[in-house]
C-alpha cells in the first residue's frame, strides 16, 4: 500500500475514533447518587459498565454521606441554578416534590415498551409515578429492619441471635463481659433515625409504627406507646461504644466484620459490605429481622429519577438508562452487590444468598398479611421537611442525657405539625 494511502487510512481511522468519542460525550448521563462505600460503589459500577457497553458515557456524580442528605442538598443547589444532572437517586415522596416543580421528564415511553405496569408490584410502581406518569425507575428493594451479627463473637459470648429487644439487652451484657462492643453504631442523625424506627416497630408493632411515623397521628406520636419506644431506644446506648459519634455506617459494619463488635442494626446495604469482603451469609455473618420485627418489612426503594433535559442525545441516554435499570442483568448483578432484592419479582433468585431469599419471602408475606411499611428514616414515608424535623428530635433526644422521653414525644408531635405548614 503506497505511503499516502496508509496515512490517509490512519487519519480516517483516527477521525472515526474522534467522532465516536464525541458522540459518546453527547450521549452521556450524569448520575447523582451517594453510593460511595465499598459495597455501594461496586454496585453503582454495574450500571456504569452496562451503559458504557451500549456506547453511552457515564459521568459519576457521587456525593458521600449515607442516607443521602448531603447528596440532596447538592442536588437542590444544582437544580436551582438550572443545571440538574440527567438522573438522580430520588426516593419516595420526594419524587412527588420534584414532580410538582415540573423538573422531571417522563419515562412513559420506556415504561410502555418494557411493560413496567405488569412487571412491578403496585407498592413499587405507585412511588415511581407523578401525576400518572412514570418519572423514576426503581433500582431495588432494601429492607431497613435488619440485625447483622458476627457468629464467632456471639459464640464466644455464649449467646444466640436475639429475637426480641429483651433478648438483645440480655445478650448485650454477656457480649460486653466477653470483651466486645455489643452494638456497632455510627452517631449520625440518619443512623439514629434508622435504629429508632426499628425499635418503634420492635417494641410497639407495625401498626403503631404506621400510625405514628407514617400517618403522623398526633395521639400515637405523643402517647404512652411512643414514650415506651423512646425509652427502649435510648437504652440502646448501653450497648454502644464511646467512639460512635460521627462514625460512618460502613465503618460500623467493618467493626462487626473484624470481630470488634458483635452486631449492627442497619438496612441490608450493610450486606453489600460483607459481600465486598468475600463473606458468606449464614456462615461468616448472620442476618435476622431487627429484634421484635419479624412480621414487619420496612421498605426502602432506591430509584433514579430523570430530569427534564432539552438535548436529544441526552434524552436518548436517559431512556437507555431507565430501560437498563429494570432489565434482568442489571437487577441481578446490582442487587447481588448492593444487598437488596430486585425491584421486579419475576427473576430467578437462585444466585442470591439466604438473607436475600428471606427478604423476598418476607416482602411477599407482609404484602399479603399486612406489615409492609415504608421506612421513615429512608425517605419513604413522609415529606423531606417532616422527616428532617423528626430526625432532629430523635437525634437530640438520643444524645441528650437529660431529655426525658415524654418531652421527646411532645416534640415529635410538634415536628410533624410544624413541618406541615
Ligand atoms: C439509603 C439508600 C441505600 C444506602 C444507604 C446508605 O438511604 O437507600 O441505598 O445507600 O442509604 O448509604
In testing the pocket of ligand 1, which one of 267, 335, 341, 384 has its CB within 8 Å of the most ligand atoms?
267
Q: How far is the CA of 404 from the centre of ligand 1 (A)?
A: 30
Same domain, 410 and 262: yes
3-state helix, strand, coil in the chain (%, to 5): 55, 15, 30
186 lines ligand 1 (CB under 6 A): no
* Whole-angstrom distance, CA of residue 1 vs CA of residue 155: 75
The answer to whether 127 touches 303, Cβ cutoff 8 Å, is: yes
Q: How far is the CA of 329 from the centre of ligand 1 (A)?
A: 21
Q: What ligand 1 atom has the least distance to the C-alpha of 66?
A: 12
In testing the pocket of ligand 1, which one of 32, 68, 139 has its CB within 8 Å of the most ligand atoms?
68
CB-based burial of residue 326 (10 Å sphere; 0-12 exposed, 13-18 middle, 19+ buried)?
buried
Distances (CA, A) of 380 to 72, 105, 110, 139, 343: 14, 21, 24, 14, 15
In testing the pocket of ligand 1, which one of 189, 340, 378, 379 has its CB within 8 Å of the most ligand atoms?
378
pLDDT value of residue 1? 40
Give the end of a domain, one of 369, 390, 408.
Answer: 369
pLDDT value of residue 187? 98
In testing the pocket of ligand 1, which one of 65, 138, 269 has its CB within 8 Å of the most ligand atoms?
269
The answer to whether 208 touches 149, Cβ cutoff 8 Å, is: no
Same domain, 242 and 391: yes
Centre a 10 Å sphere on the Cβ of residue 34 and count the other Cβ atoms it contains.
Answer: 21
Sign of CA dihedral 312, 315, 316, 317: positive
Which residue shows C-alpha cell 430501560?
Answer: 323
Q: How far is the CA of 23 from the centre of ligand 1 (A)?
A: 33
Same domain, 248 and 314: no
Is 24's pLDDT higher than 70? Answer: no
pLDDT band at 197 (very low <50, low <70, confident <90, very high): very high
Same domain, 380 and 321: no
172 lines ligand 1 (CB under 6 A): no
- Averaged over 122-138, what is the pLDDT? 96
Q: How far is the CA of 17 from the centre of ligand 1 (A)?
A: 38
Q: How far is the CA of 268 from the centre of ligand 1 (A)?
A: 9
Q: Cite the beta strand spans of 354-393 per DSSP E.
A: 372-374
The answer to whether 340 touches 141, Cβ cutoff 8 Å, is: yes
Atom 12, ligand 1: which residue's CA is nearest? 66
CB-based burial of residue 240 (10 Å sphere; 0-12 exposed, 13-18 middle, 19+ buried)?
buried
Give the end of a domain, one of 346, 369, 392.
Answer: 369
Same domain, 347 and 390: no
Same domain, 100 and 222: no
292 lines ligand 1 (CB under 6 A): no
Residue 320, C-beta contacts closer than 8 angstroms, at least 6 positions apart: 51, 54, 56
Same domain, 235 and 267: yes
Domain with 308 in it: 3-141+300-369
Q: Which range is least confidently modeled, 15-19, 51-55, 267-271?
A: 15-19
For residue 183, the cross-strand partners are 263
pLDDT digits (tens, 9 = 90+) for 368-406: 999 999 999 999 999 999 999 999 999 999 999 999 999
Q: How far is the CA of 156 from the centre of ligand 1 (A)?
A: 32
With b for 16 or more beta-carbon neighbours within 10 A and e for fewer, the 348-375 pattern comes to ebeebbebbebbbebbeebbeeebbbbb
Is 14's pLDDT higher than 90? Answer: no
Phi, psi of 396 (to 5 degrees): -65, -45
This prediction's pTM: 0.93
334 lines ligand 1 (CB under 6 A): no
Q: Cite the beta strand spans of 228-296 per DSSP E.
A: 261-265, 286-289
pLDDT digits (tens, 9 = 90+) for 323-353: 999 999 999 999 999 999 999 999 999 999 9
- Averaged over 84-98, what is the pLDDT? 96
pLDDT value of residue 419? 64
* Whole-angstrom distance, CA of residue 353 vs CA of residue 143: 15
Give me the CATH number covering residue 280: 3.40.190.10
Atom 8, ligand 1: which residue's CA is nearest? 302
Q: Which range is least confidently modeled, 22-36, 58-72, 342-356, 387-401?
A: 22-36
C-alpha cell at 280: 458468606
pLDDT value of residue 18? 45
35 lines ligand 1 (CB under 6 A): yes
Maximum CA pair distance of the chain? 91
Same domain, 137 and 157: no
Average pLDDT of the chain is 94
pLDDT band at 265 (very low <50, low <70, confident <90, very high): very high
40 lines ligand 1 (CB under 6 A): yes
**Portion of the chain with pLDDT greater than 70, in percent:** 93
Q: How far is the CA of 135 from the centre of ligand 1 (A)?
A: 20
Q: How many domains, in total, are found in the chain?
A: 2
pLDDT band at 16 (very low <50, low <70, confident <90, very high): very low
pLDDT band at 418 (very low <50, low <70, confident <90, very high): confident
Same domain, 57 and 135: yes
Same domain, 55 and 133: yes
Same domain, 211 and 318: no
Give the end of a domain, one of 329, 345, 369.
Answer: 369
- Averaged over 170-177, what is the pLDDT? 98
* Whole-angstrom distance, CA of residue 122 vs CA of residue 139: 15
192 lines ligand 1 (CB under 6 A): no
C-alpha cell at 365: 408475606
190 lines ligand 1 (CB under 6 A): no
Same domain, 285 and 310: no
DSSP 24-82: HHHTEEEEEE---SHHHHHHHHHHHHHHHHTT-EEEEEE---GGGHHHHHHHHHHHHTT
Q: How far is the CA of 269 from the centre of ligand 1 (A)?
A: 7
Sign of CA dihedral 105, 380, 270, 122: negative
Amino acid at each position: 500500500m503506497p505511503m499516502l494511502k496508509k496515512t490517509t487510512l490512519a487519519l480516517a481511522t483516527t477521525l472515526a475514533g474522534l467522532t465516536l468519542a464525541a458522540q459518546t460525550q453527547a450521549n452521556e448521563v450524569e448520575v447523582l447518587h451517594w453510593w460511595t462505600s465499598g459495597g455501594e460503589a461496586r454496585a453503582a459500577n454495574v450500571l456504569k459498565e452496562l451503559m458504557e457497553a451500549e456506547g453511552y458515557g457515564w459521568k459519576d456524580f457521587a456525593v458521600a454521606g449515607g442516607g443521602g442528605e448531603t447528596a440532596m442538598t447538592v442536588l437542590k443547589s444544582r437544580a436551582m441554578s438550572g443545571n440538574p444532572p440527567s438522573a438522580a437517586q430520588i426516593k419516595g415522596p420526594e419524587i412527588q416534590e420534584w414532580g410538582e416543580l415540573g423538573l422531571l421528564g417522563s419515562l412513559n415511553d420506556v415504561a410502555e415498551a418494557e411493560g413496567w405496569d405488569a412487571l412491578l408490584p403496585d407498592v413499587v410502581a405507585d412511588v415511581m409515578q407523578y401525576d400518572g406518569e412514570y418519572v423514576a425507575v426503581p433500582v431495588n428493594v432494601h429492607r431497613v429492619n435488619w440485625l447483622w451479627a458476627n457468629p464467632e463473637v456471639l459464640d464466644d459470648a455464649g449467646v444466640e441471635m436475639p429475637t426480641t429487644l429483651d433478648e438483645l439487652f440480655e445478650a448485650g451484657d454477656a457480649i460486653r463481659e466477653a470483651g466486645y462492643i455489643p452494638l456497632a453504631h455510627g452517631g449520625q442523625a440518619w443512623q439514629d433515625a434508622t435504629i429508632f424506627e426499628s425499635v418503634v416497630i420492635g417494641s410497639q408493632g407495625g401498626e403503631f409504627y404506621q400510625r405514628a411515623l407514617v400517618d403522623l397521628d398526633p395521639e400515637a406520636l405523643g402517647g404512652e406507646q411512643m414514650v415506651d419506644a423512646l425509652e427502649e431506644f435510648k437504652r440502646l446506648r448501653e450497648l454502644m461504644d464511646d467512639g460512635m459519634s460521627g462514625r460512618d455506617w460502613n465503618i460500623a459494619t467493618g467493626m462487626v466484620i473484624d470481630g470488634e463488635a458483635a452486631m449492627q442494626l442497619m438496612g441490608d446495604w450493610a450486606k453489600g459490605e460483607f459481600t465486598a469482603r468475600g463473606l458468606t451469609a449464614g456462615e461468616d455473618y448472620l442476618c435476622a429481622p431487627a429484634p421484635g420485627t419479624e412480621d414487619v418489612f420496612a421498605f426502602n426503594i432506591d430509584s433514579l429519577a430523570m430530569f427534564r433535559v432539552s438535548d436529544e442525545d441526552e434524552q436518548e441516554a436517559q431512556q437507555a438508562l431507565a430501560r437498563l435499570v429494570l432489565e434482568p442483568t442489571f437487577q441481578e448483578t446490582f442487587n447481588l452487590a448492593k444487598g437488596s432484592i430486585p425491584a421486579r419479582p419475576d427473576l430467578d433468585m437462585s444466585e442470591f444468598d439466604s438473607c436475600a431469599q428471606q427478604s423476598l419471602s418476607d416482602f411477599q408475606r407482609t404484602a399479603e398479611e399486612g406489615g409492609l411499611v415504608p421506612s421513615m428514616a429512608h425517605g419513604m414515608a413522609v415529606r423531606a421537611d417532616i422527616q428532617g424535623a423528626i430526625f432532629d428530635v430523635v437525634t437530640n433526644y438520643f444524645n441528650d442525657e437529660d431529655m426525658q422521653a415524654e418531652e421527646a414525644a411532645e416534640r415529635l408531635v410538634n415536628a410533624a405539625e410544624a413541618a406541615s405548614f
